[in-house]
Amino acid sequence: MKRTVLSLFILLLIPLCSLAQGNLPLLQVPILDLLQYQVQKGKRTIAPFLFSKYGFRRIPTELVNDDARQLWGWHVGPNGEFNQEKQPFYRLFAKKDNSSIAIIDDRGGALQVVFWNKEYYHVFISGLQLHGYRLQPMKHTSNILRFQREGSSVIVDVTVWSDIYVLELHN
């Protein structure tokens, strides 16, 4: 009996140990939750979304003098080279490890998910496709991939840079 309980306990710890080593992304935010949240924001019928249920920590906005946005982060720190006058706002963050992810919630507009791990990119794109979102052809080449679903008011743009990804949901 003791041996069985101990074996079960060890088996439960193996995934946690591999996550702690940074081999796999630790945090998974369901794309469906993000899509539903953005739709509700567009209808102005939402209570404040608690990204904390996914392990995010709220980042005080007074650090960046911006009351229109709520900032949330998981294993992110400040980007010491950030220049608000020359760089987009999502460059405010710097990753601490491969599981790093941040959210910029413009309460009156877009929701941006900032991440550095290509595995997150694949998870988000797979989730979008699973829920009927399709890549739209763009007239000119760019680093922005647009996903839309027929009958949905939410458009998802994924900006791909060599060092960072930004998933933006907007109505």
Amino acid 141: pLDDT: 73
Give pLDDT, residue 116.
96
Residues 91 and 152: their CA atoms lie apart, in Å, by 29
Q: Which residues, 6+ apart, have CB-to-CB distance to 108 below 8 Å? A: 68
Beta bridge partners of 112: 104, 168
pLDDT per residue as tens digits for the range 60-74: 876 666 667 889 999
141's CB contacts (< 8 A; 6+ apart) are: none
**Max alpha carbon distance in the chain (Å)?**
65
- pLDDT tens across 27-39, in order? 678 999 999 889 8
Q: What is the mean predicted confidence (pLDDT) over 12-28?
A: 47
Average pLDDT along the chain: 82
Lowest-confidence pick of 20-34, 84-98, 108-122, 125-139: 20-34
